Amino acid sequence: MAEPQAGSVMGEARRFLRYVTPGTVFLVELSIYLIFSLRPCEQQWNTVLQVFERLNISTPLMLLFVSAGIGFLLSTFHHALYWCSLSRWLYGTDYRGMIKHAENERWLLWKVQHTVQFPRKRRSQPRLSQAGAWRVATYLIHCPAMLCDNDASMKGRLQNLSDIMHGAGTALTGSLLAMGLAACVSTFVAEPPRALAPWIWLPAVVLLIRLRNYISSLHHHKGVAEMFLLGKLRQRWESNGNKPSTIIVGEHDLDDTPDC
């Protein structure tokens, strides 16, 4: 039986921690917020202390798997926000400017594979949607024809930046959820109900820091990916005798907004 490669083992561990870490951070944040909201309420506070007193040695292992499950759910919410049309302008990545620049330089040419099953009214001049541009950029990053042996280090760095961005976005989602749950507990569970003013500044500050961190990591990943792709497209253009690289996209990659 073949031994597992070190790289694959590290990759599996990294994917597992990708869910465990945000889930653990969410539990820690929620616990701190609940302490602030329930500490003056003697009955609820005593209940919390009794729960901690009953913890045993198996609790850390249980919390590990619970954190992974929570992290997976937070990751699902993060991806929903990432592709939601209402929050995509702030929360998502738009590679259309980079692709347009590559087109203007004649480094890249994309064509549409038309289908007739579901004819829809579209723009007179086809234009990639934000999601379609993301798929094109992802394809170019991982396309074997675009890469050489010296690009392995850069691909690894892009993967690390992607993991950082994903973790920051998942942690942001967890902070938002923890803030909402703690506010509900403080308002509807605590006896007597507490006003949010004495402690709401803490989760609000944490949420703003998380948002800034996520936007920064988003811009860093996008910037490095664009520099890498534009450099590879130019190299391929020069090596192909000034001929652009051509890719085929589907109609689902196009912007559905019709011309006015």
Lowest mean pLDDT among 78-92, 117-131, 164-178: 117-131
pLDDT of 96 reads 92
CA-to-CA dists, residue 74 to 23, 45, 222, angstroms: 8, 27, 22
What is the C-alpha separation between 184 and 138, in angstroms, rounded?
40
Sign of the C-alpha dihedral, residues 230, 234, 237, 239? Answer: negative
Rounded to whole angstroms, the Cα distance separating 112 from 214 reads 34
Q: Are 4 and 153 in contact (CB under 8 A)?
A: no
The residues with which 109 forms a beta bridge, in sequence order, are: 246
Average pLDDT of the residues of the chain:
77
Give per-residue pLDDT as tens, 43-71: 555 665 665 656 555 566 677 777 888 88
**Widest Cα–Cα separation across the chain:** 78
Place of tokens 């619970």: 66
Give the number of other CB atoms < 10 A from CB of residue 59.
Answer: 12
CB atoms within 10 A of CB 128: 20
* Pick from 103-107, 141-145, 154-158, 220-224: least confident: 141-145
Residue type, 165: M
pTM, two decimals, is 0.76
Would you say how long the chain is, in residues? Answer: 260
Q: Omega of the bond prior to 198 within 30 degrees of 0, cis?
A: no
Tell the residue number behind the tokens 């609790």, with chain if given: 59
* Cα dihedral 180, 196, 203, 91 in deg (nearest 10): 50
Residue pLDDT, tens place only, 73-123 = 898 888 888 887 666 667 778 899 999 999 999 999 988 886 655 455 555
* pLDDT value of position 142: 82
Lowest mean pLDDT among 30-34, 43-47, 158-162, 239-243: 43-47
Give residue-wise pLDDT tens across range 133-151.
999 999 888 887 776 667 7
